């Protein structure tokens, strides 16, 4: 058991380590690159900080800066996010969350931690190490914007509605699984005992197997969809997203099962595990781009 405990701690530590982003970080919001005027995204203590303006306005938030209290307030519909500069605590509708790196002012711009704010805003955030692009996707907002349209092409409309339903199922499957995966990543293995750590690893493994099964079911449903002329790229991109999710959940369950069995994951498996977030973000961003192009082409 001591060996297994050591392996669990080492494995958890590897997963929680975040590679430093290069300084030429670019930011994509709903598949569109953001052109920052002046100070752009940067890295502090291994965390990506982004200018509040240029990102959250694109997500539909109103941005208010109180110079006296040095507090940024983001509001959208019934959501209010409060970010005090210099503090490691942000609030969403009054509920406090601790973040790794505090918001700060750089070159006259208020900079906010990308992932923490992305989580607070309910967005999917991913990092693509190859392109050095941090992607932020407001999945439900994106759907509202691009699936709310009129067309006389009933075949295309039916296809768009079916693809929207497929996308909903993907999101509904990803969300609870990622919540459990984040729970594991946020654990300090030195602060919990072996039993608790193993229970959490078991939980992630079980959730990954369940998600994998659901993704395969969704893929079967997608294969039965009739694709109209012009919709081929949307279909192929959605299928690619599912393949990435299937491979990711399969890899996670394999690695976590090895840990529970007292075995050491291969370096190849660990390298692949570190790339999962970037691959998921890249495929989803591409899918959103292609879907937007398709829907724009069939609108009245």
Lowest-pLDDT choice from 3-17, 132-146, 208-222, 252-266: 3-17
- pLDDT confidence tier of residue 217, bands split at 50, 70 and 90: very high
User: Does residue 19 surpass a pLDDT of 50?
Assistant: no
CA–CA dist 234, 166 (Å, integer) = 12
CA–CA dist 102, 105 (Å, integer) = 10
Copy the structure tokens of residue 95: 């509920």
- pLDDT confidence tier of residue 120, bands split at 50, 70 and 90: confident
Contact of 80 with 95, CB cutoff 8 Å: no
Query: What's residue 272's pLDDT?
Result: 86
Parse the chain into domains and list their residue ranges: 20-128, 140-298
Across the range 174-186, mean pLDDT stands at: 77
- pLDDT confidence tier of residue 22, bands split at 50, 70 and 90: very low
Average pLDDT, the chain: 78
Helices (H), 154-193: 154-185
Lowest-pLDDT choice from 5-9, 113-117, 151-155, 186-190: 5-9
Query: What's residue 42's pLDDT?
Result: 77
Query: What's residue 5's pLDDT?
Result: 35
Considering only residues 118 and 79, tell me which one the structure prediction assigns the higher pLDDT.
79
Torsional sign, CA 70, 80, 106, 53: negative
User: Does residue 149 surpass a pLDDT of 80?
Assistant: no
The percentage of the chain sitting over the pLDDT mark of 70, rounded to a whole number, equals 84
Across the range 168-180, mean pLDDT stands at: 80
User: Does residue 222 surpass a pLDDT of 90?
Assistant: yes
Per DSSP bridges, beta strands 133-137 and 26-29 are parallel
20-128, CATH topology level:
Copper Amine Oxidase; Chain A, domain 1 (3.30.457)
């Amino acid at each position: 058991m001591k060996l297994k405990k050591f392996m669990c701690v080492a494995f958890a530590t590897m997963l929680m380590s975040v590679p430093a982003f290069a300084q030429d970080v670019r930011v994509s919001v709903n598949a569109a690159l953001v052109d920052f005027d002046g100070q752009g995204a940067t890295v502090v203590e291994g965390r990506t900080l982004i200018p509040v303006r240029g990102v959250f306005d694109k997500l539909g938030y109103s941005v208010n800066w109180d110079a006296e209290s040095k507090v940024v307030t983001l509001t959208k519909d019934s959501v209010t996010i409060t970010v005090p500069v210099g503090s490691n605590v942000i609030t969403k509708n009054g509920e406090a969350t601790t973040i790794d790196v505090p918001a700060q002012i750089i070159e006259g711009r208020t900079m906010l931690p990308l992932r923490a704010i992305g989580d607070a805003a309910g967005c999917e955030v991913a990092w693509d190490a190859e392109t050095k692009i941090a992607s932020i996707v407001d999945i439900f907002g994106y759907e509202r914007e691009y699936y709310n349209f009129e067309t006389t092409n009933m075949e295309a409309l039916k296809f768009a509605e079916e693809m929207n339903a497929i996308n909903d199922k993907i999101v509904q499957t990803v969300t609870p699984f990622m919540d459990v995966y984040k729970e594991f990543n946020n654990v300090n293995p030195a602060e919990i005992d072996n039993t608790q750590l193993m229970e959490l690893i078991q939980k992630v493994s079980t959730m990954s197997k369940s998600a994998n099964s659901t993704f395969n079911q969704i893929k079967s449903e997608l294969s039965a969809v009739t694709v109209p002329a012009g919709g081929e790229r949307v279909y192929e991109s959605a299928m690619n997203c599912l393949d990435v999710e299937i491979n990711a959940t399969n890899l996670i369950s394999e690695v976590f099962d090895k840990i529970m069995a007292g075995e050491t994951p291969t370096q190849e498996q660990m390298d692949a595990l570190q790339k999962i977030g970037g691959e998921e973000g890249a495929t989803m961003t591409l899918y959103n781009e292609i879907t937007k192009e398709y829907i724009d082409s069939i609108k009245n």
